[in-house]
């Protein structure tokens, strides 16, 4: 009986000269960022090329139950020097002498979620973290650009660990994770602003360092995005406290705390700036739903009226003042996972 050859016994080897692989690929085109590739491979056109396109998907996280300790400790946690309540283990702080109204805090958070859904924005909820008082601020552990997310690295020890749960959340939603900040880099999303499809601003500060900028700039260079660095003054931590894009050619700014070079750059780009009203320092911490339509803190009426009457901005007011005492606002508490681009 004649021996059957190895090639005839295994039909897959009949294409040993590569015809099988020629038939099935590779197919580098169309590129990763093309609509057809993202939609077929990742379910939708994830990410955002700016801060003003129609918002489709936002990520939020319910306030941590650890804030109950503020009320429990009361005056024992009060620091006159800081003008705030401070956890002895440095896991939380609460600004001002009024103890947190936890019912109001959660009611206002629920109203923020309900308002987003009423605006036809899909809400992705990250899991609540019981030991992270600042985890409600989903803006900070990542940035989003066309095609996906870059996971940052948070500066404060009290916030370390948020990055992992945020990575798991966006991945579970189906969003590509493009890169992660590593080494000694510090990058927080509240200090990153997409100003043009190919230009972003990054504010270095006590929370975001030069090494973080170096890594982020190298990552986004591959996406065709330049990242310009601005140094925040003093102990100001994030750009979203001093500027917000509300249209391609319109931004609201707080020049009292904004880097001067940033204000100059906005002018050179042809972006008109609107100054927040005096004593309304949280007015930049808004969320743009679409061009000249914004989710805005209801307790800041003077800036809202200025934007509405002078610049044709549609204001969607949301009560969110209680969260300010925890160190953040509407923009801090929301991260766009998808905008039209």
The pair of three-digit structure tokens given for residue 64, joined into one six-digit string = 């941590």
Nearest to 307 by CA among 324, 294, 298, 321: 294
Q: What is the CATH classification number for the domain harbouring 130? A: 3.75.10.10
312 within a domain of the structure (yes/no)? yes
pLDDT 10s digit of each residue in the chain, 341 long?
A: 445 444 445 555 555 667 777 788 788 999 999 999 999 999 999 999 999 999 999 999 999 999 999 989 999 999 999 999 999 988 999 999 999 999 999 999 999 999 999 999 999 999 999 999 999 999 999 999 999 999 999 999 999 999 999 999 999 999 999 999 999 999 999 999 999 999 999 999 999 999 999 999 999 999 999 999 999 999 999 999 999 999 999 999 999 999 999 999 999 999 999 999 999 999 999 999 999 999 999 999 999 999 999 999 999 999 999 999 999 999 999 999 999 99
Contact 271, 251 (CB under 8 A): yes
Spatial neighbors of 260 by CB under 8 A, at least 6 apart, are none
| pLDDT at residue 231, rounded to an integer | 98
Does any domain span residue 83? no
Q: Regarding beta strands 84-86 and 78-79, do their DSSP bridges make them parallel or antiparallel, or are they unpaired?
A: antiparallel
Half-sphere exposure of 156 (CA within 13 A, CB side): 18
pLDDT for residue 31: 94
pLDDT of residue 262: 98
Phi, psi of 37 (to 5 degrees): -70, -50
CA–CA gap between residue 76 and residue 41 (Å, rounded): 54
> In the numeric block, which tokens belong to residue 197?
């499809």
Residue 234 falls in which region: left (phi positive, over 0), alpha (psi -120 to 50) or beta: left
pLDDT of the residue at 4: 47
How many domains would you assign to the chain?
A: 1
By residue range, what is the domain housing residue 253?
Answer: 46-63+98-339
Please answer whether residues 340 and 153 qualify as being in contact, where contact means their C-beta atoms are separated by less than 8 angstroms. Answer: no
- In the 8-state DSSP scheme, what is residue 314? E
Using DSSP, state whether 141 is helix, strand or coil: coil
**What confidence tens digit (pLDDT) does each residue in 173-219 have?**
999 999 999 999 999 999 999 999 999 999 999 999 999 999 999 99
Q: What is the pLDDT of residue 172?
A: 98
Strands 192-196 and 199-204: antiparallel
> Which tens digits make up the pLDDT trace of 4-17?
444 445 555 555 66
The half-sphere exposure of 321 on its side-chain side, counting CA atoms within 13 A, is 10
Q: Could you tell me if residue 329 is inside a domain?
A: yes
Cis link prior to 26 (omega < 30° from 0)? Answer: yes
Look at residue 211 and tell me if it is in a domain: yes
Tokens describing residue 285: 């911490």
Instruction: Indicate whether 250 belongs to any domain.
Output: yes
Tell me whether residue 23 is in a domain.
Answer: no
Q: How many other C-beta atoms are found inside a 10 Å radius of the C-beta of residue 256?
A: 12
- Work out whether strand 93-95 and strand 293-297 pair parallel, antiparallel, or are unpaired: unpaired
Q: What is the pLDDT of residue 13?
A: 52
In sequence order, which ranges of the chain are alpha helices (DSSP H)?
6-9, 19-24, 35-42, 68-73, 102-118, 162-173, 210-221, 260-268, 301-311, 321-324
**CB-CB contact of 320 with 297 (8 Å):** yes
Residue 21 lies in a domain: no
The whole-angstrom separation of Cα 290 and Cα 305 is 18
Give the pLDDT of residue 7: 46
Residue 62 in tokens: 């319910």
- Structural domain includes residue 232: yes
Q: Report which of 164, 167, 177, 189 is spatially closest to residue 240, judged by C-alpha positions.
A: 189
Query: Are 187 and 215 a contacting pair, CB within 8 Å?
Result: yes
User: What is the number of other CB atoms lying within 10 angstroms of the CB of residue 161?
Assistant: 15
b/e code 324-340 from CB counts within 10 Å (16+ = b): bbbbbbbbbbbbbbbbe
pLDDT score of 15: 56
C-beta atoms surrounding 131 within 10 Å: 13
- Give residue 239's pLDDT: 98
């Amino acid at each position: 009986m004649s021996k059957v050859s190895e090639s005839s016994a295994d039909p897959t080897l009949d294409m040993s000269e590569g015809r099988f692989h020629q038939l099935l690929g590779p197919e580098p085109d169309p590129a990763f960022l093309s609509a057809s590739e993202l939609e077929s491979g990742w379910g939708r056109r994830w990410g955002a090329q700016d801060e003003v396109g129609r918002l489709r998907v936002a990520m939020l996280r319910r306030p941590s139950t650890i804030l109950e300790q503020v009320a429990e400790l009361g005056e024992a946690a009060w620091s006159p020097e800081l003008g705030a309540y401070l956890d002895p283990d440095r896991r939380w702080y609460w600004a001002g002498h009024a103890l947190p109204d936890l019912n109001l805090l959660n009611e206002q958070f629920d109203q923020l979620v309900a308002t987003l859904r009423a605006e036809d924005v899909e809400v992705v909820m990250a899991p609540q973290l019981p030991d992270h008082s600042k985890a409600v601020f989903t803006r900070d552990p990542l940035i989003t650009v066309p095609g996906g997310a870059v996971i940052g690295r948070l500066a404060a020890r009290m916030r370390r660990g948020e990055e992992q749960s945020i990575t798991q959340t966006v991945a579970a939603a189906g969003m590509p994770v493009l890169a992660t900040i590593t080494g000694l880099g510090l990058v927080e999303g509240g200090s990153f602003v997409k100003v043009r499809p190919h230009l972003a601003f990054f504010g270095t500060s006590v929370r975001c360092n030069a090494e973080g900028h170096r890594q982020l700039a190298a990552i986004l260079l591959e996406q065709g995005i330049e990242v310009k660095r601005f140094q925040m003054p003093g102990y100001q931590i994030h750009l979203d406290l001093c500027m917000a894009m509300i249209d391609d050619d319109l931004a609201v700014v707080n020049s009292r705390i904004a880097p001067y070079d940033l204000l100059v750059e906005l002018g050179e780009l042809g972006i008109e700036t609107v100054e927040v009203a005096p004593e309304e320092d949280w007015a930049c911490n808004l969320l743009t739903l679409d061009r000249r339509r914004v989710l805005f803190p209801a307790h800041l009426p003077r800036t809202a009226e200025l934007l509405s009457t002078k610049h044709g901005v549609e204001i969607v007011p949301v009560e969110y003042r209680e969260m300010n005492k925890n160190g953040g606002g509407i923009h801090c508490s929301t991260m766009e996972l998808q905008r039209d681009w």
